[in-house]
């Protein structure tokens, strides 16, 4: 019972770290990445679709992104979706391609982005701690039902804490990397 509980808890903690990592890809740094457009949803063909499903995204240089739709008829829909997104970038339609020029970040905007990174990181840490709490509750219930001994319960909780510390350290590493990336000029 306990080994399965640990596998489940570790898997859920790993997913929380991956979720935090994917959140970080959508936060702008000084350089262009295709991940900036991952959260952009386009109203096309009567439904909301991710931008990547309806267009090719390319990075021709560190300060620009090009978006080429698979179907030229939805070029305007893609432009509107990018304008509505929280990127704060004005798309330029150039024939059958949309060009996004990324302006350099000023110091104030960099600090705002770092705060956002810390906020998203804390959400990831909270998710990891919630997994630990749930697993701890299962261990407590198993001890109460006499399925595990008190020593096993104590060891299980210590092992859960080690897992929690490991995954929170991973989130901290992600934060340090992203913060460095944002603050580089």
* pLDDT, tens digit (0-9, with 9 covering 90-100), for 73-109: 888 899 999 888 877 788 888 888 999 888 777 888 8
Whether the Cβ atoms of residue 182 and residue 114 lie closer than 8 Å to each other = yes
The mean pLDDT value for 165-178 works out to 96
For 3-34, the pLDDT digits (tens) are: 899 999 999 999 999 999 988 887 777 677 77
- Spell out the domains of the chain, with CATH numbers in brackets: 2-25+106-183 (1.10.132.20), 34-101 (3.30.1360.40)
* Residues belonging to the chain: 185
Of the candidates 14, 28, 41, the residue with the CA atom closest to the CA atom of residue 117? 28
């Amino acid at each position: 019972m306990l080994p399965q509980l640990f596998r489940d808890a570790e898997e859920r903690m790993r997913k929380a770290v991956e979720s935090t990592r994917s959140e970080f890809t959508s936060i702008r740094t000084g350089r262009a990445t295709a991940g900036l457009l991952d959260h952009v949803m386009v109203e096309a063909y009567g439904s909301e679709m991710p931008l990547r499903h309806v267009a090719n995204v390319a990075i021709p240089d560190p300060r620009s992104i090009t978006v080429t739709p698979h179907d030229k008829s939805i070029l305007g829909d893609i432009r509107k979706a990018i304008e509505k997104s929280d990127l704060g970038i004005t798309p330029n339609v150039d024939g059958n391609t949309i060009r996004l020029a990324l302006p350099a970040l000023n110091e104030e905007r960099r600090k705002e982005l770092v705060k956002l990174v810390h906020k998203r990181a804390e959400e990831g840490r909270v998710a990891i701690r919630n997994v630990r709490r749930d697993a701890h509750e299962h261990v407590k219930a198993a001890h109460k039902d006499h399925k595990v001994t008190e020593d096993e319960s104590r060891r299980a909780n210590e092992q859960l804490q080690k897992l929690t510390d490991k995954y929170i350290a991973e989130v901290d590493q992600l934060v340090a990397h992203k913060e460095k990336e944002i603050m580089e000029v």
